[in-house]
Structure 1
């Protein structure tokens, strides 16, 4: 099942308007989700969806002995800079006022973290998030404050709205109502986790968020513990999908804590989704996808509806892994 079908489960109100690239396709799914390995796997990188170029870039860093932090930074930047990807970075779909705002966070092996929320006019929010982590006493900067900080750090003002995304937004405006629309997703976050040769874990997450969202809306992606969490003693997790539901369960933190209690990454991801569904009895009109990795390099993933995949790259190969789902069809 293609990524587009995954999105359609929660984009019925805007069906036909979304025409972004399909990042996962059946012919690219070449192996099963990894649950158990007999020996630690390092280095290794995993990311949400079939982001082949992003995972390749991260592996390039890891293979040369680079840190997991540099690997995830450079990996997700590939998608931030890809204007054909309308869900991340430059060219992302705008909010209802026509402004592109970006969210990102990053977390290193020592538990240091940084995030930017509702950042406009800056092409690489993951780099700004890293600067927040490394250059300030804070964890999160938002809106105009985040933008001003970026300029102070030497980032240049960039028009993030491409002509393609602008024209789609103008078309959307013809029939849309200016009020919250429940269960609209319209995006695919890239979340990435890596273990370097030293065995250290880092993670990054970046997105342009929900297409045609209300101005100022922020989902789970830049929220430490929700869209991303790393504990170097245990492992890491990251999420994609309807961010509001991930925030309500602090999903990525939950999955890491479940691994701390002895669950495998696969078991932890499954429990994370089940917790969300337990709080949404009678609903199946939204999507969540989790991926996780533990200290041994064992990985797992789980989603609500079929169609979600994740990329893994290690000495064992470069694989697009299909995810098992809570709903089977």
Structure 2
């Protein structure tokens, strides 16, 4: 009887061991998560990433990192595409757009905000202090002033000069990739400028994602025009189970495809960040093939593993990456055309 029990025990243990081995063989291999990490659009993302890294390197929250990071671009008077240095609309008004989103799905946004130098900070206040997601125009300004933000004249001399030059012919012809610092803006005629965005995504030490996006919009746009940058799901989207994405370029086309949400959902289906961005860009080409050849749109994505990637319509798009190993990495994005 004893030997029979021992036989049954040994047989059961052996079967369980074989089952465990089979299960382990079938299980996907784990990938070490690369964190913390922060990425952002364009060459000017390098300086912004460094500010974000100061938060991340001391185990700070990704939300705080992206807010601090993009404020560097907003404060840069030499950057004509974001914040106080941004070019005005065709009536001479500088209006700013921004949004922010955290790992819990909370989000805040402001659009067509005038007289406030840091719209991203106001967007966070909308997220944390109101029951709403977006405030616009006069209402956004009223809220910002009530929160203690100083009212400023955002039309700096260089922007005013560019606007007056534009008024001579009042032609609108955006130049692609002007945000790339290697682009020689000295050769631009006075009536040709473009505007763009800094979008930033971060994964913190706790494994949580957040994102921010801020811009002054298209140069010499129609008064009241709002692009994709302050629109959750278009200019920015974060899903803490999957990843985050942001966009840059002609916002109208990003809105039409709900681009950043699309990128995140593709990553949920198993696409890599780069492959998801490429598919989102291809959707734009499919919808408007001729328009797509004449404009720039790029997407940037980061997943929960700390893997990142991008894709754009045209060559010239760049993005910046900051990790513990390297703080000033600039990568040329792949492109369709």
Question: Offset of 1:145 from its aligned partner?
Answer: 0.2
Query: Partners in 1 of 2:316 and 2:175 — Cα distance?
Result: 17
- Cα RMSD (Å) of the superposition? 1.3
Query: Partners in 2 of 1:184 and 1:85 — Cα distance?
Result: 15
TM-score of the two chains, using structure 2 as the length reference: 0.84
Aligned residue runs from structure 1 range 294-305, under 5 A: 294-305=303-314
**Aligned match for 2:276, one of 268, 274, 281:** 268
Corresponding position: 1:48 with 2:41: yes
Question: Offset of 1:182 from its aligned partner?
Answer: 7.1
Match of 2:267 in 1: 259
Corresponding position: 1:142 with 2:151: no
Match of 1:161 in 2: 155
Higher helix share: 2
**Aligned match for 2:326, one of 313, 317, 321:** 317
Question: Offset of 1:282 from its aligned partner?
Answer: 2.6
Corresponding position: 1:120 with 2:128: no
Question: Offset of 1:127 from its aligned partner?
Answer: 0.3
Query: Partners in 1 of 2:207 and 2:195 — Cα distance?
Result: 32
Deviations 1:109-150 (A, max 9, x none): 000000000000001000000000000000000000000000
Aligned residue runs from structure 1 range 3-14, under 5 A: none
Please tell me whether the aligned partners of residues 103 and 239 of structure 2 are also in contact (alpha carbons under 8 angstroms). yes
Please tell me whether the aligned partners of residues 46 and 321 of structure 2 are also in contact (alpha carbons under 8 angstroms). no
Corresponding position: 1:195 with 2:203: yes
**Aligned match for 1:238, one of 234, 243, 246:** 246
Q: What are structure 2's unaligned runs of at least 5 residues?
A: 1-29, 177-193
The SS at the match of 1:282 is helix
Deviations 1:78-132 (A, max 9, x none): 0101111111001210000000000000000000000000000001000000000
Query: Partners in 2 of 1:317 and 1:289 — Cα distance?
Result: 23
TM-score of the two chains, using structure 1 as the length reference: 0.86
Aligned residue runs from structure 1 range 95-106, under 5 A: 95-106=89-100
The SS at the match of 2:300 is strand
Please tell me whether the aligned partners of residues 102 and 209 of structure 1 are also in contact (alpha carbons under 8 angstroms). yes
Question: Offset of 1:315 from its aligned partner?
Answer: 2.0
Please tell me whether the aligned partners of residues 237 and 246 of structure 2 are also in contact (alpha carbons under 8 angstroms). yes
Query: Partners in 1 of 2:196 and 2:150 — Cα distance?
Result: 26
Query: Partners in 2 of 1:38 and 1:266 — Cα distance?
Result: 18
Corresponding position: 1:218 with 2:211: no
Query: Partners in 1 of 2:153 and 2:126 — Cα distance?
Result: 22
Question: Offset of 1:321 from its aligned partner?
Answer: 1.1
Query: Partners in 2 of 1:244 and 1:224 — Cα distance?
Result: 14
Deviations 1:155-201 (A, max 9, x none): 11011010000011001000115xxx576771120000001100000
Greater mean alpha carbon deviation, residues 277-286 or residues 116-125: 277-286
The SS at the match of 1:172 is helix
Query: Partners in 1 of 2:175 and 2:167 — Cα distance?
Result: 15
The SS at the match of 1:325 is coil
Question: Offset of 1:39 from its aligned partner?
Answer: 1.9
Q: What are structure 1's unaligned runs of at least 5 residues?
A: 1-36
Query: Partners in 2 of 1:62 and 1:54 — Cα distance?
Result: 13
Task: State how many pairs are aligned.
Answer: 288
